[in-house]
């Protein structure tokens, strides 16, 4: 009797652990693998267009700025640093705007988010 109860409890614990466990895959992140483009309005020099690459693991593997008319040396520097931060954070959440290039940063974030909407 005790063996049966013990076996039943172990089985319940195993099932509970399996049900609660989860991998970090594309379905968990909600992103489908592929290459997506997005455009964000409101940049200092106009819209910013980006390409976001999502890998088979559902994580952002690259962000490329395709088009912009931002000020050279100010907005352009922001657009050089922000893509790496988005890849590192797997999205725009938690990425700070670049000081002195807030409008450019916001247009970039908007473009990335527009691309990511397509990946959901």
pLDDT along the chain (120 residues), means of 10: 60 53 45 97 94 97 97 94 98 96 97 97
Q: Which has the closest alpha carbon to 83: 101, 55, 105, 59?
A: 105
pLDDT value for 73: 93
Tokens 């076996």 locate to 7
Which pLDDT does position 22 carry in this prediction? 42
Q: What structural domains does the chain harbor?
A: 26-119 (3.90.1010.20)
Q: Show Cβ contacts of residue 118 under 8 Å, excluding neighbours closer than 6 positions.
A: 36, 38
Q: Give the angle subtended at the CA of 101 by the CAs of 37 and 70, to the nearest 5°.
A: 55
CA 115 to chain centre: 10
User: Is the model's pTM score more than 0.85?
Assistant: no
């Amino acid at each position: 009797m005790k063996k049966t109860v013990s076996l039943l409890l172990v089985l319940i614990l195993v099932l509970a652990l399996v049900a609660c466990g989860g991998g970090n895959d594309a379905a968990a992140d909600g992103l489908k693998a592929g290459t997506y483009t997005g455009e964000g309005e409101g940049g200092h020099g106009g819209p910013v267009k980006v390409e976001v690459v999502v890998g088979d693991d559902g994580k952002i593997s690259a962000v490329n700025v395709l088009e912009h008319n931002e000020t050279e040396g100010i907005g352009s520097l922001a657009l050089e640093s922000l893509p790496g931060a988005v890849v590192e954070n797997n999205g725009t959440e938690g990425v700070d705007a670049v000081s002195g290039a807030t409008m450019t940063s916001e247009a970039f974030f908007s473009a990335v988010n527009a691309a990511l909407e397509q990946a959901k």
